[in-house]
Amino acid sequence: MERYIGVGVAIIVTRGNQVLLLKRLNVHGAGSWSTPGGHLDFGETPEECAIREAREETGLDIANIAFKAITNDVFETENKHYISIWMEGEYQSGEAVLAAPYESSEIGWFDWDKLPQPLFLPFQNLLNGNRYPKTE
């Protein structure tokens, strides 16, 4: 199996004390929960990618987008290695829907202390502090 290295952008969309998560389907990490996100397109900024992916996957418009962290995510069994750029933004408008049902089977707003399981490896790495910059 050929090894693959890619750059992904994930967007943490918050509304109050909740975060928007999708259950992955038909993509690597299927069955796990993560934020909206995807591959960085040629010539695209991380901010542009975050806005695009949020809209494509959830139908939502987001605002106040800012850089959060980078994770180094190796999927051993799939021979995939991603550098994930984590952005964060606030819910602005729209109703959260499964706008890409071929990539996600469920969507929902979750309290940070009641996240569904299992979590997608990059999201778990971020939450565990396996990220750059390192946090205390």
- pTM for the model stands at 0.95
Structural domains in the chain, CATH included, are 4-127 (3.90.79.10)
| Residue partners of 107: CB distance under 8 A and separation at least 6 | 20, 21, 22, 23, 58, 96, 97, 98
- Over the chain (136 residues), what is each successive 10-residue block's mean pLDDT? 94 96 95 97 97 96 96 95 97 94 97 98 97 84
Q: Which long-range contacts (CB under 8 A, 24 or more apart) does 13-16 make?
A: 13/54, 13/58, 13/60, 13/62, 13/88, 13/89, 13/90, 13/91, 14/88, 14/89, 14/90, 14/91, 15/90, 15/91, 15/109
Q: In this structure, what token pair is assigned to residue 64?
A: 């106040």
- CA 60 – CA 8 distance, rounded (Å): 19
pLDDT score at 136 = 56
- What is the predicted pLDDT for the residue at 88? 97
| pLDDT the model gives residue 135 | 72
